[in-house]
């Protein structure tokens, strides 16, 4: 009997030496006093779950020991629980293939028992692995299967777990509304059950959705509520998760000092519990944040630690995993053999037993020492090589930074010169085309919203009184910036020539004249005006009876009457200056409408409705026209400011895509 106990001690010593994690004596004492292996299995599973968030390696060893006792007693339900626990720990550290293998074994046993709770739990764990791998469609299938079984047995804990996981996937797929509903439903059930851990996960999910909806204050409040729960629970892995998310939230808002503080706290806790995956993420985020704060030395150090950790994260090869599994199998087999030979070995002498046991232990220790020495030598060589590589990369990085600084200085200088040139060109353009002041002279109740893309503009307005008529137009020339501005001067000049050469012309007479003489500016060997064109809406207003004649070239304008009805007008899709066959030249026509006092007229180029914003979509003409209808209700003195605010709100962080020009006239 003493011989058997000695061999058992040897086997346990070998197991702990290999795993490098010693099970605390207090836990050993608790499960050794239990009478049955199935009871020991349940105790070890509960202990493993309780410390999983703070001591994952010890949790794994306890789950492995629980599996051993479940197999010893043929406790199938315990086997399924242990396999699921082992798989979930492997999933947490990124060993997905091993996790899938464990959960598959758990599924076989749960299916054999026809245990709906175990089936629901196993499907949920398998969904976790698929989610961690980014296989969202497969994960949804698993969680829905789990939800089906949990609802059959009315298990609220499993139901809320599946709702939370589905919320995670919908959030990853940017389906934020469905994600919010899942998180909110799970939170209500968790609060009903007073389950702080479940409330923590649900709050984290709702906060993440709030961040995606750009409701940053709500996200900040929810994350802090989750942090309070994590501290009450005393789970360090939860605290790492919250601090990392608070860091991400601060980073999105460009509050880099706050982000640096949160990521540092997350790393400190992740280091204490050896959560390698979270350590890696913290190193990367700290490198990024320090770079934004121009703490380049700290950024480089964190980036170096991130590179080293990435290279060594999964350095255990398949042969080592197989050897470990084989050793555990051998240990279990030897323990069974020792139990079967217990009676036969009682008569052996104590000296022979001690000699054999001592020789075996000595041999194992020698083998382990050889393996340890070789491994340390190999790691030292690898670390030395990585040190020299990082040193070389640091030198290259410093050289590159110097070159970038020089290039940045040159680019800044060139940019200042170009900007000064454009500003000078803009002042010249305002001198040559003073349409804003001219419009105010003839239409006191009017506004002009003019916002070029690049300081100078290819869009312009034109106005010219003649007898009892006022001719006015808005035009959009090819291109923008300096090239567009040059073409706009050409168009403005031709309009002045047309109105001076023609006697009380109709709008179509002017457009036909413009199209005929547009090419006179083209010169051989010059590309500036060889491919240009102009879109224009030209109007002729009788100031006595408010009769309006108009002709358009691929442009439209709108009128909002006193009752709020909006009408759109255009009568040609041709552009001025576009190439056409001589036997089929474009012919512009004039149409006439009657206006009334207090009608609002809006002329505009296509820059405003074509602007991208929101979810990278254009505003489009119909939406812009509806906004103009709403705008017409405000006093003319406020409309330009309201239009500008709307444009900035719609554009958001997107770049301006074209020159913007809008003219509003109240009759």
- Contact between 636 and 445 under an 8 Å Cβ cutoff? The reply is yes
In the predicted structure, residue 533 carries a pLDDT above the cut 70: yes
Residues in the chain, total: 667
| CA dist., res. 521 & res. 317, Å (int) | 75
Percent of the chain with pLDDT over 70: 86
Predicted confidence at residue 329, as pLDDT, reads: 39
Q: Output the pLDDT for position 315.
A: 46
Q: Report the Cα 644 to chain-centroid distance in Å.
A: 29
Residue 644: which domain range? 433-666
* pLDDT level of residue 494 (50, 70, 90 thresholds): very high
pLDDT at 308: 81
Do 410 and 532 reside in the same domain of the chain?
Answer: no
- Same domain flag for 515 and 418: no
User: Do 581 and 610 share a domain, yes or no?
Assistant: yes
To the nearest whole percent, how much of the chain has pLDDT over 90?
A: 33
What is the band of 530 on the pLDDT scale with cuts at 50, 70, 90? low
Residue 513 lies in a domain: yes
pLDDT of residue 335: 53
- Tell me the mean pLDDT in the region 574-592: 79
User: Which range is least confidently modeled, 132-136, 342-346, 609-613, 627-631?
Assistant: 342-346
426 with 499, same domain: the answer is no
The answer to the question of residue 424 being in a domain is yes
**Do residues 480 and 573 share a domain?**
yes
What average pLDDT does the segment 100-107 reach? 93
Asked which of 432, 451, 473 is the last residue of a domain, the reply is 432
66: Cα within 13 Å, side-chain hemisphere = 28
The overall average pLDDT reported for the chain is 82
Is 439 in the same domain as 523?
A: yes
11 in a domain, yes or no? no
Distances from the Cα of 603 to the Cα of 473, 514, 552, angstroms: 8, 20, 11
Residues with Cβ within 8 Å of 193's Cβ and at least 6 positions away in sequence, in order, are: 156, 157, 160
Residues 399 and 490 occupy one common structural domain: no
Q: What is the DSSP letter of 537?
A: E
Give the mean pLDDT of 654-664.
Answer: 91
The residue-averaged pLDDT of 414-425 equals 56
> Is there a domain that residue 357 lies in?
no
Q: Mean per-residue pLDDT for 358-386?
A: 86
Q: Are residues 572 and 423 in the same domain?
A: no
Question: Hey, which bits of 570-615 come out as E strands?
Answer: 591-594, 600-604, 612-613
Does residue 569 register a pLDDT over 50?
yes
pLDDT band of 7, cuts 50, 70, 90: very low
Spell out the residues 6+ positions from residue 109 whose beta carbon is closer than 8 angstroms to its own.
76, 77, 79, 80, 83, 118
Give the residue-averaged pLDDT of 439-462: 89
pLDDT tops 90 at residue 461: yes
The CA-based angle 310-84-199, given to 5 degrees, is 80
- Domain CATH for 526: 3.60.40.10
Quickly count: other Cβ atoms within 10 Å of residue 7's Cβ: 22
CA distance 38 to 60: 18
Phi and psi at 531, nearest 5°, equal -125, 25
Question: Coil, strand, or helix at residue 479?
Answer: coil
CA dihedral for 215, 220, 225, 227, sign (positive or negative) = positive
* Predicted local confidence at residue 156, as pLDDT: 74
Of 417, 432, 447, which residue is a domain's last?
Answer: 432
Q: In sequence order, which ranges of 433-470 are alpha helices (DSSP H)?
A: 435-442
Q: Is residue 297 one of the residues assigned to a domain? A: no
**Confidence label for 580 from pLDDT (cuts 50, 70 and 90):** low
**Cα(364)–Cα(192) distance, integer angstroms:** 55
Over residues 234-282, the pLDDT tens digits come to: 888 888 889 999 999 999 999 999 989 999 998 888 888 777 778 888 9
Check whether residue 566 and residue 417 sit in a common domain: no
pLDDT given at position 422: 53
Burial (CB count <10 Å: 0-12, 13-18, 19+), residue 399:
exposed
Do 612 and 578 reside in the same domain of the chain? Answer: yes
What pLDDT score does 523 carry? 41
Single residue among 432, 453, 473 that ends a domain in this structure: 432
d(CA 317, CA 200): 36
Distance of alpha carbon 221 from alpha carbon 570, whole angstroms:
53
Which of 257-261, 338-342, 385-389, 408-412 is the least confident region? 338-342
Of 215, 265, 276, 220, the residue nearest 243 (C-alpha):
265
Q: Which of 230-234, 355-359, 554-558 has the highest mean pLDDT?
A: 554-558
**Does residue 258 fall inside a structural domain?**
no
The predicted-structure confidence for 8-57, as pLDDT tens digits, reads as follows 433 333 334 344 567 887 788 888 888 888 889 999 999 888 888 778 88
414 shares its domain with 499: no
Predicted confidence at residue 592, as pLDDT, reads 96
Q: Who's near 486: CB < 8 A, 6+ residues apart?
A: 528, 529
| Any domain includes 599 | yes
Q: In this structure, what DSSP letter does residue 346 have?
A: G
Name the maximum alpha-carbon separation found in the chain: 133
- pTM of the predicted model as reported, rounded to 2 decimal places: 0.41
Measured CA to CA in angstroms, residue 292 lies from 398, 404, 411, 506, 569 at distances of: 17, 16, 20, 61, 51
Q: What's the confidence (pLDDT) of residue 522?
A: 54
Total domains, the chain = 2
> Do 523 and 392 have their domain in common?
no
Whether 636 is covered by a domain: the verdict is yes
Q: What is the pLDDT of residues 313-344, one digit of tens each?
A: 544 443 344 344 334 434 444 555 566 666 66
How far apart are alpha carbons 444 and 428 in whole angstroms? 25
pLDDT tens-digit series, residues 118-168: 998 899 899 889 888 888 888 888 988 888 888 888 887 777 777 777 887
Contact partners, residue 561, CB within 8 Å, separation at least 6: 567, 596, 599
CB count in 10 Å sphere of residue 465: 15
């Amino acid at each position: 009997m003493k011989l058997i106990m000695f061999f058992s001690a040897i086997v346990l010593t070998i197991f702990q030496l290999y795993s490098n994690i010693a099970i605390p004596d207090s836990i050993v004492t608790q499960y050794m006093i239990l009478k049955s292996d199935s009871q020991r299995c349940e105790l070890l599973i509960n202990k493993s779950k309780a410390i999983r968030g703070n001591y994952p390696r010890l949790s794994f060893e306890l789950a492995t020991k629980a599996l051993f006792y479940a197999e010893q007693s043929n406790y199938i339900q315990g086997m399924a629980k242990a396999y699921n626990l082992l798989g979930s720990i492997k999933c947490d550290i990124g060993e997905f293939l091993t996790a899938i293998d464990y959960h598959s074994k758990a599924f076989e046993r749960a299916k054999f028992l026809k245990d709906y709770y175990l089936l629901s739990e196993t499907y949920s764990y398998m969904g976790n692995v698929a989610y961690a791998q980014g296989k969202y469609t497969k994960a949804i299938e698993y969680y829905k299967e789990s939800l089906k079984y949990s609802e059959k047995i009315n298990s609220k804990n499993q139901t809320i777990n599946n709702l939370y996981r589905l919320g995670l996937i919908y959030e990853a797929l940017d389906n934020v509304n469905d994600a919010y509903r899942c998180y909110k439903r799970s939170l209500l059930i968790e609060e009903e059950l007073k389950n702080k851990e479940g409330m923590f996960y649900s709050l984290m999910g709702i906060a993440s959705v709030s961040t995606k909806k750009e409701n940053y204050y709500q996200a900040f409040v929810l994350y802090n509520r989750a942090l309070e729960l994590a501290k009450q629970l005393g789970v360090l892995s939860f605290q790492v998760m919250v601090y990392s998310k608070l860091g991400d939230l601060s980073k999105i808002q460009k509050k880099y000092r706050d982000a640096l503080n949160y990521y540092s706290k997350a790393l400190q806790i992740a280091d204490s519990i050896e959560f390698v995956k979270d350590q890696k993420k913290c190193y990367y985020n700290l490198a990024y944040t320090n770079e934004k704060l121009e703490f380049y030395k700290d950024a480089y150090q964190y980036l170096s630690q991130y590179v080293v950790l990435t290279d060594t994260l999964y350095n255990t090869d398949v042969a080592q995993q197989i050897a470990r599994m084989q050793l555990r199998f051998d240990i279990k087999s030897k323990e069974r053999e020792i139990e079967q030979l217990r009676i036969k070995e009682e008569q052996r002498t104590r000296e022979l037993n001690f000699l054999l046991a001592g020789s075996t232990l000595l041999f194992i220790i020698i083998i382990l020492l050889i393996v340890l020495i070789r491994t340390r030598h190999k790691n030292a060589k690898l670390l030395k090589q990585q040190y020299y590589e990082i040193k070389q990369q640091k030198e290259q990085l410093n050289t590159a930074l110097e070159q970038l600084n020089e290039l940045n200085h040159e680019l800044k200088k060139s940019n200042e010169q170009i900007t000064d040139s454009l500003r000078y060109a803009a002042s010249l353009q305002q001198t040559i085309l003073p349409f804003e002041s001219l419009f105010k002279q003839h239409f006191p109740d009017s506004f002009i919203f003019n916002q070029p893309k690049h300081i100078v503009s290819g869009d312009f307005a034109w106005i010219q009184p003649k007898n009892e008529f006022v001719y006015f137009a808005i035009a959009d020339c090819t291109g923008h910036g300096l090239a567009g501005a040059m073409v706009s001067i050409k168009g403005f000049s031709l309009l002045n020539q047309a109105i001076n050469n023609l006697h009380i012309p109709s709008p179509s007479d002017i457009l036909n004249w413009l199209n005929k003489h547009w090419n006179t500016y083209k010169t051989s060997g010059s590309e500036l005006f060889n491919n240009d064109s102009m879109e224009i809406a030209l109007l002729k207003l009788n100031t006595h009876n408010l009769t309006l004649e108009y002709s358009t070239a691929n442009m439209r304008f709108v009128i909002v009457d006193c009752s709020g009805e909006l009408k759109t007008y255009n009568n040609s899709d041709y552009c001025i200056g576009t190439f056409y066959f001589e036997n089929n030249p474009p012919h512009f026509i004039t149409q006439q409408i009657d206006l009334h006092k207090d009608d609002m007229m809006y002329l505009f180029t296509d820059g405003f409705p074509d602007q991208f914003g929101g979810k990278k979509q254009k505003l489009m003409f119909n939406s812009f026209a509806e906004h103009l209808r709403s705008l017409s209700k405000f006093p003319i003195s406020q409309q330009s400011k309201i239009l500008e605010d709307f444009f900035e709100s719609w554009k958001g962080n997107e770049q301006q895509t074209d020159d913007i020009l809008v003219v509003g006239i109240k009759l």
